[in-house]
Amino acid sequence: MIISMYEHDFNDLQTTQLRHMSADDFKFLHIMDNNIIKRPDNHYEMPLPVRDNVKMPNNRTLAAKRLGQLKCKFLTNSKYKENYISFMKDVLANCAETVLDEINLNDGSVNYVPHHGIYHPKKRDRIRVVFDCSAEYAETSLNKCLLKGPDLMNGLVGVLSRFRKEPVAIQADIKGMFHQFFVSEKNQNLLRFLWWQNDDFQQKIVEYRMKIHLFGAISSPACANYGLRKAAEDGKEEFGLQTYRFIKEDFYVDDGLTSLPTSAEAIQLVNNSTQLCAKAGLKLHKWVTNDKRVLNSIPEESRASNLKKIDVGNRQPIERALGVVWCVESDTSGWILKTSR
pLDDT band (50, 70, 90) for residue 31:
very high
Please choose, from the candidates 239, 237, 175, 219, the residue with its C-alpha nearest in 3D space to the C-alpha of residue 43. Answer: 175
In a domain, 102, yes or no: no
| Measured distance CA(272)–CA(302) in Å, rounded | 14
Instruction: Evaluate whether residue 306 is within a structural domain.
Output: yes
Is the CA virtual torsion 289, 295, 300, 306 positive or negative? positive
Q: How many CB atoms lie within 10 A of CB 184?
A: 14
Q: pTM to 2 decimals?
A: 0.84
338, amino acid identity = K
Is 265 inside a domain boundary?
Answer: yes
Q: Does residue 283 lie within any of the structural domains?
A: yes
What digits encode the pLDDT tens for the residues 284-335?
A: 999 999 899 999 999 999 998 776 665 545 555 555 655 565 555 556 554 4
Closest C-alpha among 259, 33, 57 to residue 138:
57
The amino acid present at 222, given as its one-letter code, is A
In a domain, 304, yes or no: yes
3-class secondary-structure state, position 328: coil
Q: Give, rounded to a whole angstrom, the gap between the first and last alpha carbons of the chain.
A: 54
Q: Determine the length of the chain.
A: 341
Domain range holding 300? 156-178+254-334
In which band, very low, low, confident or very high, does the pLDDT at 15 lie, cut at 50, 70 and 90? Answer: very low
Q: What CATH number does residue 306 fall under? A: 3.30.70
Task: Judge whether 51 lies within some domain.
Answer: no
Instruction: Indicate left, alpha or beta for 63 from its phi (over 0: left) and psi (-120 to 50: alpha).
Output: alpha
User: Has residue 66 been placed in a domain?
Assistant: no
Instruction: Tell me how far CA of residue 158 lies from CA of 154, 257, 336, in angstroms.
Output: 8, 10, 21
Average pLDDT over residues 226-249: 97
Per-residue confidence band for 222, with pLDDT thresholds at 50, 70 and 90: very high
In this prediction, residue 314 carries a pLDDT of 54
**Each residue's pLDDT tens digit, 193-202:** 999 999 999 9
Nearest CA-CA partner of 114 in 94, 93, 136, 139: 136
If one counts every other C-beta atom within 10 angstroms of the C-beta of residue 271, the result is 14
On whether the CB atoms of residues 246 and 171 are closer than 8 A, the answer is no
Average pLDDT over residues 197-209: 95
Written as one letter, the residue type at 336 is I
Total count of domains within the chain? 1
Q: Does residue 85 belong to any structural domain of this protein?
A: no
